Amino acid sequence: MYWENIERMFILDERVFFSSNPWRTGGFALPVGTVPRDIQANAVNLLLNGREILTLLGLRQTGKSTLAFQLIDHLLRKEQTAPDRIFYFTFDDLSLRQELSASFGNFLRVVERFLGGEVRKRKDPLYVFIDEVQKLPGFVEYIKMLYDMKFPIRWVLTGSSSLTLKSQVKESLAGRVVQLPVFPFSENELFLGHGDSPPDKTAVRKFLFESRIPDKKALRKIQADLLPFKHRIKTLIEEVLVFGSLPAVALSRDVERKKLLLKNYRDTYLDQDIRNLVREDKLWVYQRVMELLGGRIGDLLSYSAIAEQIEVTVDTVKRYALLLEKTFVLRTLTTCSRNVRAQILKTPKVYFTDLGLRNTLLGLDDLSRIENLGQSGVVLENAVIERLQSVMAREGYATRLHYWRTRTKEEVDIVLAGPAGLLPIEVKYDRKIRPRHLNGIKAFLEKEKEHVGIVVGRWDEAEIIDDGRYRIYMIPHWFV
């Protein structure tokens, strides 16, 4: 009688369920050209060996749902997991949301109907993936209840509105969840997405993050190994400086399509992610704050200057800037110092997690226009920060990104703060090395009692400037 009742309740959902779970009928395959993600191995490890609920967070359209299906593919092909142990649901399905809104307990009944037995009696865990979980308010609390009752379920949650999901997770799943950020494509993923083998930058990574400092011979070897990829890397960097690296945008070879995708992205972000968080009559203010912050990447974040320019309160600008950061549009860098803290400014600097979105907000769709406006230096600086961030996420480095600036305006763009010390990095758009490029690095090394620094620029050859006290590496931008 129990199963007959369940069948009557949910028979209309059968085709939807099997369409969303095609592995149950043997018809599942990832789309041709699906790009393996840098964080995929980390995600697999957390899913198989972790006890916590796995939550995939990040900027809209960075591939969170695709990564969920890549995890399912791994379970099926590499782990030989039985298809009936894997469930995928999307709360984009209005009928499912309506059914579950009546009683969250219906969810467990749905699972048990397609499982053909009671979940609690399973010895092997089920894998339950829920996309757009934030669209059913209160459901995260239900997941918490099942988790605390030790149901044999491994959960993976994703959502396009990362702010809403992040808030629900923080309130309901504290101590029960691990959050894995999904970023736009890294250089490695860009190569794979275009069908090319990526360069091996292991030696560069060990230099930046593991204090494996190369001598001149080792530096020449690094350069020789990367030379075959030089032209391709430089071309990809130029594309990223203008169009960013959101997966769909990066994989498109049509410039006009890239522009259209970015405009649609901007509109969707405002309409779907922000409309419920900002009053209708204030959406223009929010967009204007985005635009003004986009014009200030690499600058100190002055709330008062922005507030004065658009005639709103400082608190309004602060709130909107925080929303932009929590929805993964903005990234802020704080200052870092061990020895001159009293002289260091505390104001953060602001960057965009995707330059394509930033440039679309400002109406910039060509590198020459960015150069003519004198913005090429800060745009390259922004790109280097995002590249470093992607490496840190992939490799799991316990390194933090900061900047350094004294009250007397001595400044370094980026400081890598890791277990082994502080590594200053200055970014220049110039093609020739000039003495002034070294001023900030030298000031940092002297005051912070460090000995090694890096200046990244568009020069063709890597060099080492060593005066006996400090060793400064002049690194081409295609190395990073």
Whether residue 206 is predicted with pLDDT greater than 90 in this model: the reply is yes
Are 153 and 256 contained in the same domain? no
Higher-confidence residue: 274 or 221? 221
Report d(CA 252, CA 261) in Å as an integer: 9
Please report, for the domain that includes residue 21, its CATH number. 3.40.50.300
* pLDDT score recorded for residue 340: 63
Report d(CA 295, CA 73) in Å as an integer: 42
Are 279 and 421 contained in the same domain? yes
pTM for the whole structure: 0.91
Residue that has been written with the tokens 């259209």 in this structure? 260
Residues whose CB is less than 8 angstroms from the CB of residue 157 and which lie 6 or more positions away in sequence, other chains included: 53, 54, 55, 56, 130, 133, 140, 143, 165, 169
One-letter amino acid at 235 equals T
Report d(CA 424, CA 451) in Å as an integer: 10
Report d(CA 331, CA 388) in Å as an integer: 13
Residue 10 DSSP SS3: helix
* pLDDT score recorded for residue 12: 40
The beta strand positions in 238-393, using DSSP E, are 330-335, 349-352
CB-based contact 477:460 (threshold 8 Å): no
Are 223 and 161 contained in the same domain? no
Are 205 and 150 contained in the same domain? no
Are 177 and 194 contained in the same domain? no
Q: Which residues on neighbouring strands pair with residue 17, listed in sequence order? A: none
Lowest mean pLDDT among 245-259, 266-280, 336-350: 336-350
Range of the domain at 220: 188-476
Whether residue 97 is predicted with pLDDT greater than 90 in this model: the reply is no
One-letter amino acid at 224 equals A
* pLDDT score recorded for residue 384: 98
Which helix H or strand E contains 375, and what residues bound it? none
Average pLDDT over residues 425-439: 92
- Of 149, 182, 215, the last residue of a domain is 182
Whether residue 271 is predicted with pLDDT greater than 90 in this model: the reply is no
- Of 154, 182, 210, the last residue of a domain is 182
Full strand arrangement of the beta sheet holding 126-131: 86-90, 126-131, 153-158, 53-57, 177-181
* pLDDT score recorded for residue 262: 97
* pLDDT score recorded for residue 117: 92
Residue that has been written with the tokens 């499982």 in this structure? 115
The torsion defined by the Cα of 301, 302, 308 and 309, in degrees rounded to 10, comes to -40
* pLDDT score recorded for residue 346: 79
Are 269 and 157 contained in the same domain? no
Average pLDDT over residues 49-70: 92
Whether residue 126 is predicted with pLDDT greater than 80 in this model: the reply is yes
Are 143 and 241 contained in the same domain? no
Residue 440 DSSP SS3: helix
Residues whose CB is less than 8 angstroms from the CB of residue 31 and which lie 6 or more positions away in sequence, other chains included: none
* Residue 7 vs residues 11, 15, 34: alpha-carbon distances, Å: 5, 13, 36
Task: Compute the mean pLDDT over every residue in the chain, rounded to the nearest whole number.
Answer: 91
Whether residue 7 is predicted with pLDDT greater than 60 in this model: the reply is no
* pLDDT score recorded for residue 166: 67
Q: Which residues on neighbouring strands pair with residue 473, listed in sequence order? A: 454, 464
Are 374 and 393 contained in the same domain? yes
Whether residue 337 is predicted with pLDDT greater than 90 in this model: the reply is no
Of residues 148, 171, 166, 149, the one with CA closest to residue 57: 166
pLDDT tens for 216-239 read 999 999 999 999 999 999 999 999
* pLDDT score recorded for residue 96: 87
- Of 182, 211, 242, the last residue of a domain is 182
* pLDDT score recorded for residue 13: 66
pLDDT tens for 399-422 read 999 999 988 889 999 999 998 899
Residue 6's pLDDT band, with cuts at 50, 70 and 90, is very low
Strands 463-466 and 452-457, by their bridges, are unpaired
Residue that has been written with the tokens 């974040």 in this structure? 301
Whether residue 308 is predicted with pLDDT greater than 60 in this model: the reply is yes
Are 108 and 194 contained in the same domain? no
pLDDT tens for 359-415 read 999 999 999 999 999 999 999 999 999 999 999 988 989 999 999 998 888 999 999
* pLDDT score recorded for residue 417: 94
The torsion defined by the Cα of 362, 241, 265 and 279, in degrees rounded to 10, comes to -40
CB-based contact 469:453 (threshold 8 Å): no
Give φ, ψ of 155 to 5 degrees: -100, 140
Count of structural domains, the chain:
2
Are 229 and 155 contained in the same domain? no
Whether residue 8 is predicted with pLDDT greater than 70 in this model: the reply is no
Average pLDDT over residues 28-53: 94
Are 178 and 211 contained in the same domain? no
Whether residue 164 is predicted with pLDDT greater than 70 in this model: the reply is no
Are 152 and 292 contained in the same domain? no
Of residues 222, 235, 230, 137, the one with CA closest to residue 190: 235
Whether residue 99 is predicted with pLDDT greater than 90 in this model: the reply is no
DSSP state of 25: G
Residue 1's pLDDT band, with cuts at 50, 70 and 90, is very low
pLDDT tens for 14-38 read 888 899 999 999 889 999 999 999 9
